[in-house]
């Protein structure tokens, strides 16, 4: 019977810890700022952009990611006055949400760039994060790529059978069908992964390997 | 050191919930160290049979293992949920799709999964990971992200994960599917060196000639033929009848 207590030593790498701490520091600092303290927020954003540039992020790559993120955080920011009413300070409130979100997002991007995901997991484990959380993050990261590859294959297969232009409604319908298919396939895959874990002696205890 | 495992399947009948029989009255036995190929068309029940050998499916009724009653025995031990741990220590199962089996963030972590579950200490786990990666020719891959592997490398990494548990029996579900000739050659060489019991479900008749001493033919959930590799592969009528050659 495997011993659930015996887990590998939690060895902390100083460089990885500093990177994680710097990233968290930027997030905390960003979240302590409000719209009124925009000069400080601007300075923090400038520092973060500089760090991203040093990490090798091109402007194009950064713009692509921000183009995905900013509409989402803007919607979140606008939803606050929509739910609480448009008070005199609603713009400041929305601006604060956007600044905090943007700083956190950029800090996250920097961390992913400078610290390989595997090192990040080792660092989190060394910092006494529960093994089950570390294992869940590892599997989430692993299967995010698998899911993405599956999505790409479905999209290509759909395109290959789209002879001629489709109207917007048909595109939406096909997209909805694809999402449904992905959910079903993911459930099925989850079942197969569980079997594969059982086949290698998994008994419900997570035993991470540093 | 691998100790070869004996398998006995007795009148195994199985259906998934709400479905018709996937396996019907399947019986055969495998001696320790034998190398068997399981052939059959798609949907014949090969994968289901392999899952039974690892106690991964609900116990087939009747789950009464008195002498001569139905079921699966691994080294004389009934392959039931109750005996799952000792069964899975003896039988290593390689799944068809490496994405289902390769769940570690790096190759080394993934290979360590089985040995860690065996409750081995860190030094022994490390030794087994190194040995298994060496066996499959992936010595330099321990720190490689599992996302960044070719299909052939993924399959070999999966095999390393199974070999690291040092099973006495290796059960492989379509190991050569979608591999290029070089990947197929490498995998075949690795399997040739395995000294335990080998049970291989495949459509690749060249690999069967190379790796198996005996063939079982499964079609529509029933065992249709059981004999030496040369005899079965020379029976063109049998192969055609069961969709094994065009």
Q: Is residue A90 pLDDT above 70, yes or no?
A: yes
Q: Which of A46-60, A148-162, B92-106 has the lowest mean pLDDT?
A: A148-162
Which of B113, B121, B122 lies at the smallest CB-CB distance from A200?
A: B113
B84 at the A interface (CB within 8 A)? yes
Q: How far is B219 from chain A (nearest CA, A)?
A: 23
- Region B19-27: mean pLDDT is 90
Task: State the pLDDT at residue A210.
Answer: 61
Distances in whole angstroms, Cα of residue A126 to Cα of each of A9, A129, A161? 8, 7, 50
Structure tokens at A9: 């030593």
- Region A193-205: mean pLDDT is 88
Task: State the pLDDT at residue B3.
Answer: 80
Which of B104, B122, B147 lies at the smallest CB-CB distance from A8?
A: B122
Which of B56, B105, B112 lies at the smallest CB-CB distance from A142?
A: B105
Task: State the pLDDT at residue B213.
Answer: 94
Q: How far apart are CA B185 and CA B52, in angstroms?
A: 28
Backbone angles phi, psi at B213, to 5 degrees: -95, -20
Q: Which of A22-26, A168-172, B174-178 has the lowest mean pLDDT?
A: A168-172
B71 at the A interface (CB within 8 A)? no
- Region A171-197: mean pLDDT is 87
**A202 and B161 in contact by Cβ < 8 A?**
no
Q: Which of A86-90, B39-43, B143-147 has the lowest mean pLDDT?
A: A86-90
* Probe site for chain A from B52, B55, B57, B103 (most A CB atoms < 10 A): B103
In this prediction, residue A88 has a pLDDT band, given cuts at 50, 70 and 90, of confident
- Region A27-35: mean pLDDT is 87
Chain B residue numbers with beta carbons less than 8 Å from the beta carbon of A191 are none
Which of A1, A138, A197 lies at the smallest CB-CB distance from B119?
A: A1
Q: Is residue A185 pLDDT above 90, yes or no?
A: no
- Region A78-84: mean pLDDT is 82
pLDDT tens for residues A2-14? 443 345 556 678 8
In this prediction, residue B60 has a pLDDT band, given cuts at 50, 70 and 90, of low
CA-nearest residue to B99 within chain A is: A146
Chain B residue numbers with beta carbons less than 8 Å from the beta carbon of A209 are 104, 108-109, 112-113, 116, 125
**Residue A200: DSSP 8-state:** T
Does the pTM of the predicted model rise above 0.80?
no
B124 at the A interface (CB within 8 A)? no
A to B CB pairs, distance under 8 Å: 95
**A192 and B95 in contact by Cβ < 8 A?**
yes
Higher per-residue pLDDT: A11 or B163? B163
SS (H, E, C) chain B: CCCCCCEEEEEEEEECCCCCEEEEEEEEEECCCCEEEEECCCCCCHHHHHHHHCCCCCCCCCCCCCCCCCEEEECCEECCHHHHHHHHHHEEEECCCHHHHCCCCEHHHHHHHHHHHCCCCHHHHHHHHHHHHHHCCCHHHCCCEHHHCCHHHHHHHHHHHHHCCCCCEEEEECCCCCCCHHHHHHHHHHHHHCCCEEEEECCCHHHHHHHCCEEEEEECCEEEEEEEHHHHHHCHHHHHHCCCCC
Is the Cβ–Cβ distance between A111 and A19 less than 8 Å? yes
B98 at the A interface (CB within 8 A)? no
In whole numbers, what is the pLDDT of chain A averaged over residues?
84
Structure tokens at A154: 């479905």
Chain A residue numbers with beta carbons less than 8 Å from the beta carbon of B85 are 1, 201, 203
* Probe site for chain B from A196, A206, A207 (most B CB atoms < 10 A): A196
- Region B39-47: mean pLDDT is 92
Which of B95, B112, B165 lies at the smallest CB-CB distance from A196?
A: B95
Chain B residue numbers with beta carbons less than 8 Å from the beta carbon of A8 are 122, 125
Counting every residue, how long is chain B? 246
Task: State the pLDDT at residue A153.
Answer: 85
Is the Cβ–Cβ distance between B63 and B41 less than 8 Å? no
Q: Is residue B15 pLDDT above 70, yes or no?
A: yes
Chain A interface residues facing chain B, Cβ-Cβ under 8 Å? 1-3, 6, 8-9, 116-118, 121, 138-139, 141-143, 145-146, 189, 192-193, 195-203, 205, 207-209
Backbone angles phi, psi at B42, to 5 degrees: -60, 140
Task: State the pLDDT at residue A28.
Answer: 93
**A200 and B162 in contact by Cβ < 8 A?**
yes
Which of A142, A192, A203 lies at the smallest CB-CB distance from B146?
A: A142
Q: What ipTM score was computed for the predicted complex, to two decimals?
A: 0.84
pLDDT tens for residues B101-146? 888 888 998 999 999 888 888 899 999 999 999 999 898 999 898 8
């Amino acid at each position: 019977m495997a011993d659930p207590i015996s887990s590998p030593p939690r060895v902390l790498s100083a460089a990885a810890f500093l990177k994680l701490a710097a990233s968290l520091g930027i997030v905390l600092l960003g979240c302590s700022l409000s719209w009124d303290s925009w000069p400080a927020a601007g300075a923090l954003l400038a520092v973060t952009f500089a760090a991203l540039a040093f990490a090798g992020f091109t402007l194009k790559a950064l713009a692509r990611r921000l183009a995905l993120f900013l509409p989402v955080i803007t919607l979140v920011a606008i939803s606050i006055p929509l739910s609480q009413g448009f008070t005199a300070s609603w713009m400041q409130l929305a601006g604060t949400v956007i600044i905090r979100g943007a700083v956190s997002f950029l800090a996250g991007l920097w961390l992913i760039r400078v610290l390989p995901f595997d090192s990040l997991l080792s660092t989190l484990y060394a910092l006494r994060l529960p093994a089950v959380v570390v294992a869940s993050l590892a599997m989430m990261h692993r299967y995010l790529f698998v899911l993405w590859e599956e999505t790409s294959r479905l999209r290509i297969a759909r395109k290959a059978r789209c002879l001629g232009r489709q109207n917007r409604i048909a595109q939406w319908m096909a997209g909805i069908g694809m999402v449904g298919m992905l959910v079903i396939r993911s459930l099925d895959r989850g079942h197969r992964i569980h079997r594969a874990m059982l086949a290698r002696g998994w008994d419900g205890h997570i035993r991470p390997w540093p | 050191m691998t100790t070869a495992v004996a398998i006995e399947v007795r009148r195994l009948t199985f259906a998934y919930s709400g479905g018709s029989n996937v396996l019907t009255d399947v019986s055969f036995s495998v001696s320790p160290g034998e190398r068997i190929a399981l052939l059959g068309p798609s949907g014949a029940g090969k994968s289901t049979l392999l899952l039974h050998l690892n106690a991964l499916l609900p116990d087939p009724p009747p789950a009464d293992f008195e002498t001569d009653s139905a079921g699966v025995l691994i080294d004389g031990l009934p392959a039931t949920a109750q005996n799952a741990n000792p069964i899975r220590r003896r039988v290593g199962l390689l799944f068809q799709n490496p994405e289902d089996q390769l769940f570690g963030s790096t190759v080394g972590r993934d290979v360590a999964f089985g040995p860690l579950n065996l409750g081995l200490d860190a030094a022994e786990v490390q030794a087994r990971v190194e040995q298994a990666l060496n066996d499959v020719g992936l010595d330099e891959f321990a720190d490689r992200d599992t996302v960044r592997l070719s299909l052939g490398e993924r399959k070999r990494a999966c095999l390393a994960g199974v070999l690291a548990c040092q099973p006495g029996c290796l059960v492989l579900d379509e190991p050569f599917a979608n591999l290029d000739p070089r990947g197929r050659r490498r995998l075949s060489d690795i399997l040739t060196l395995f000294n335990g019991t080998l049970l291989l479900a495949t459509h690749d008749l060249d690999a069967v000639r190379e790796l198996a001493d005996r063939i079982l033919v499964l079609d529509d959930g029933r065992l249709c033929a059981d004999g030496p590799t040369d005899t079965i592969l020379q029976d063109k009528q049998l192969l055609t009848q069961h969709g094994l050659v065009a």
